[in-house]
Amino acid sequence: MAGKRLLSCWRRGALWGWRKPCFECTTLLLEMIFWQGPRFRDPYEPMSRRGVTVWFTGLSGAGKTTLSCGVAQQLRAWGLPVEVLDGDLVRQHLTKGLGFSKVDREENIRRIGFVAEMLTRHGVIVLVSAISPYRAARQEVRQYIGSFIEVFVDAPLEVCERRDVKGLYRKARAGLIQHFTGIDDPYEPPEQPEVVCKTAEQSISECIDLVIQSLKSRGYV
């Protein structure tokens, strides 16, 4: 009966604002809008699915973006909610005004962590790809987010320099880029990461499998 009444109101234009809908249809529409079922969930209400932030850290050229995109592709194929926060893209938008001093780098990580926490809280698997060179900053976002998996994308500096398609290492060694991680700015490797991907020794698929298995073992997938 409710469906027939709504159809009747729709045909005479009441639901499009041309005429005033009847009381029963108004009540039914309000119930549909505010019903907290699967199709009408409040978009700001945390989901029951457990979200998590997977934080890929390592030198420039280590393979962070490649791995995060590979993991994202696999998770999306399974129909899971995934967002990738790539450090380079974030700097073009969210943290555009920040430089590469220690203070600015830490602020960059805090802002990425803020976005990652919101997405994680709403059931999203967040894949962060950022150099994030300082342990203290990574520990800060770990504590803030809570559901957190740290992936150390481990590649020797000389390997990263050989992969340097953008020529950043050459510019840094020539003094054209200041505060470049691994050259004139330190990188502090994780002491107890959940996952270690040695991209100079392991294939991309092997590294992706390590991350997926970590998610499975913790119940996120």
Domains of the chain: 2-40 (no CATH), 52-217 (3.40.50.300)
pLDDT tens per residue, range 138-177: 999 999 999 999 999 999 999 999 998 889 999 999 989 8
* Cα angle, residue 75 at apex, residues 74 and 80 outer, rounded to 5°: 155
Active site residue 132: yes
Q: Which of 68, 129, 132, 147 is catalytic?
A: 132
Percent of the chain with pLDDT over 70: 78
| Whole-number pLDDT of residue 25 | 53
pLDDT score, position 118: 95
Give pLDDT tens digits for 103-136. 999 999 999 999 999 999 999 999 999 999 999 9
**Confidence (pLDDT) at 108:** 92
Read off the pLDDT band of 42 (50, 70, 90): very low
Q: Helices then strands (H, E): number in the chain?
A: 9, 5
Can you give the pLDDT at residue 4? 53
What does the pLDDT average to over 30-42? Answer: 40
d(CA 134, CA 98): 16
